[in-house]
Structure 1
Amino acid sequence: MKDKLLEAWSKMLSKLDHWFDSIILALPNFIIAIIVFTFVLFLSKQINKLVLKLLDRSSMQRSMKNLISKLVSAIVIIVGLFIVLGILNLDKALNTVLAGAGVLGLAVGLALQGALANFYSGVVLSYIHFFKYGDWIESNGYEGEITNIDLRSVTLKQSDNNLVYIPNKMVVDSPIKNYSTTAQSRVILTCGVHYDSDLKFVRDLVVKTIVERFDAVTSKQEVLFMYNEFADSSINFETRFWIKSTSALEVAKAKSEAIIAIKAEFDANDINIPFPIRTLDFPEGFLGGNTQNEVSAQRPSNE
């Protein structure tokens, strides 16, 4: 038993010596591999900057430029990995990995369907021209300025300065309202006036107020004014006009300014904006008649 233990111990020491010799022999290659991979990482960053600089001269979207530069950088790193594996004499291991890449790729593809869908959608969003950095859009119930488009999500900066990250697939599959595709935006304002108001005077006053308040409106013909409803307490109207802005926030500000200006003009001209009320109209003597009947009913009969 003792001889067997000594023999096993001797074999283990011999194995350790062989491993140590292998490590010593492979140490220069390992150091060279580290140096090469570090250089590859540095080179990929420099190539990324160079590609971006070259693409800045083109008319491509910023998101597309970022995508191309990242792909070129990734290709450089993959080539560097192949070189490092060759230096470490792991060519056979590499062939084994490549042989199993087909099955592994299928499994990974099934497991990462959502990520791959977002990746493909990110490529699509980076390519289309009506969807770019700085645009003010509305999608999936969120509204804001596009501040970033990557391979996973679209980043929107809302009017309250909060950031919203929407997965690319949801943006591609949903309707997109882009406020920045035109040079102007329309402001739509609704209000109501009392039934006793002079409707022609109200119309002229509102149109005049908007023309004087907003520089983008140069004539009365550019203001659309329409009465559209006989409501319970008021005659409602709608007015529309254009402003030079592509931001929904600027539209909201213009609407607020129009409300303030129109209210001030209405107050100055004694035009009433009624609120919902309910009027009870009793016939003359209705309350008095009921009272007399009630009193007569309560009197005892002398007959």
Structure 2
Amino acid sequence: MNDPIDESLNAIDILIRQLLSMWEQAIALLPSLFIATIVLIVTWIIARFASRIADNLTDKTNMRASLQELVETMVRLAIWIVGLMATLTILLPGLTPASLIAGLGFGAVAIGFAFQDIFENFMAGVLIMIREKMRIGDYIICEGVEGIVESIALRETHVRRNTKELTIIPNSILFKNPVKILTDQDKRRHEIIAGVAYDTDLEVAREVILKAVQSVEQVDKDERIDVFACEFNASSVDFKIRWWSGSKPRAMHESRDSVIRSIKRALNQAGIEIPFPYVTQTFKEPIPVTFSEPVSFAGKE
């Protein structure tokens, strides 16, 4: 029968030998750990200087700000990938770059399923930065959000609303949905509706409206100004007036304000009525009217 004391001594001896073995392995790993730390520090320094060099080089070109940020990010990412692979190879000598890449390939499938939304936004951010449209400073409307694009990152885009609120939009939404860019050009067309009374000479009214729009400073005189009679409305004949002005929302509001005031002033001076809605009631039979007291329609003396 085994002695319990001997068994306890054997277990302690095995534990001590395992701890000593682990200590020796840790001591043996210290040089590799030191070298790996140096490699990480060097990688950080190189990535930082490479980012500055890339920034200086892209500043000398006509490259868009979003594309410059993409180039800098890709340079840093490439350097860090190489540095981390070198660090793992130092810490695990049996790990070769080929086996590491193969392992990353299998792991990427699992990671891709787990972080599908993150990678979708990442790829959408890359594609948004590459394409020419939607630059920083553009005024956009997408999925009920409108405002000025402040920054475009790899995963999200920051849009500043007119109320100074900041909206963070995942890049996949901007990439998969229609985006209206109001400031893609310096100018865009604006339009309003103006109505005149039915007894108005439409040719005269058209000339009055056209001259009123042409007199507005914010209206671009190099572009065509349109004044079209477009509809027989309930109480008026409506004109559709179109002109070109600045594309920013502020410029749109200013030009609309000036055009409307100029048209109103010109129609008043020409004696042309801008009618209120008229309602005419008709009845098949006369409606009897009764008075509780005698009414005299004659004027008082």
Q: Which residue of 1 aligns with 2:213?
A: 210
Q: Which residue of 2 aligns with 1:111?
A: 114
Q: Which residue of 1 aligns with 2:150?
A: 147
Contact 2:148 2:161 (8 Å CA) reproduced: yes
Q: Which residue of 1 aligns with 2:53?
A: 50
Q: Which residue of 2 aligns with 1:250?
A: 251
Q: 1:59 to 1:137 in 2, by over 3 A?
A: same
Amino acid in structure 1 at the alignment position of 2:8:
L
Q: 1:86 to 1:291 in 2, by over 3 A?
A: closer
Q: Which residue of 1 aligns with 2:189?
A: 186
Alignment RMSD:
3.1
Q: Which runs of 5+ in 2 are unaligned?
A: 292-301
Q: 1:189 to 1:58 in 2, by over 3 A?
A: same
Task: Quote the sequence identity (%).
Answer: 27
Amino acid in structure 1 at the alignment position of 2:44:
L
Q: Which residue of 2 aligns with 1:262?
A: 263
Contact 1:195 1:235 (8 Å CA) reproduced: yes
Which of the two has greater helix per residue? 1
1:282, CA displacement in angstroms?
6.6
Distance 2:192 2:165 in 1: 27
2:83 is equivalent to residue 76 of structure 1: no
Contact 1:183 1:246 (8 Å CA) reproduced: yes
Number of residues paired by the alignment? 287
Q: 1:40 to 1:84 in 2, by over 3 A?
A: same
Q: Which residue of 2 aligns with 1:299?
A: none
Q: 1:92-131 residue pairs with structure 2 within 5 A? A: 92-93=94-95, 98-131=101-134
2:29 is equivalent to residue 21 of structure 1: no
1:241, CA displacement in angstroms?
1.0
Q: Which residue of 1 aligns with 2:225?
A: 223
Contact 1:185 1:246 (8 Å CA) reproduced: yes
Amino acid in structure 1 at the alignment position of 2:186:
A
1:55, CA displacement in angstroms?
1.7
1:70, CA displacement in angstroms?
1.0
Q: 1:163 to 1:94 in 2, by over 3 A?
A: farther
Q: Which residue of 2 aligns with 1:241?
A: 243
Q: Which residue of 2 aligns with 1:176?
A: 179
Contact 2:140 2:146 (8 Å CA) reproduced: yes
Q: Which residue of 2 aligns with 1:138?
A: 141
Distance 1:98 1:239 in 2: 64
Q: 1:249 to 1:91 in 2, by over 3 A?
A: farther
SS of alignment partner, residue 92 of structure 1: coil
1:234, CA displacement in angstroms?
1.9
Distance 1:268 1:165 in 2: 50
Distance 2:38 2:273 in 1: 82
1:184, CA displacement in angstroms?
1.7
Distance 1:3 1:199 in 2: 118
Distance 1:132 1:275 in 2: 45
Q: 1:182 to 1:268 in 2, by over 3 A?
A: same
Q: Which residue of 2 aligns with 1:30?
A: 33
Q: Deviations over 1:134-165 (max 9, x none)?
A: 22333334333322222223333333333333
Q: 1:263-278 residue pairs with structure 2 within 5 A? A: 263-266=264-267, 271-278=272-279
Contact 1:192 1:235 (8 Å CA) reproduced: yes
Contact 2:219 2:255 (8 Å CA) reproduced: no
1:118, CA displacement in angstroms?
2.7
1:122, CA displacement in angstroms?
2.2
Q: 1:175 to 1:11 in 2, by over 3 A?
A: same
Q: 1:99 to 1:186 in 2, by over 3 A?
A: closer
Q: Deviations over 1:102-123 (max 9, x none)?
A: 3322222233333333333222
Q: 1:71 to 1:178 in 2, by over 3 A?
A: same
Distance 1:94 1:270 in 2: 90
TM-score w.r.t. the length of structure 1 is 0.80
Q: 1:190 to 1:146 in 2, by over 3 A?
A: same
Between 68-77 and 9-18, the greater mean CA deviation after superposition:
9-18
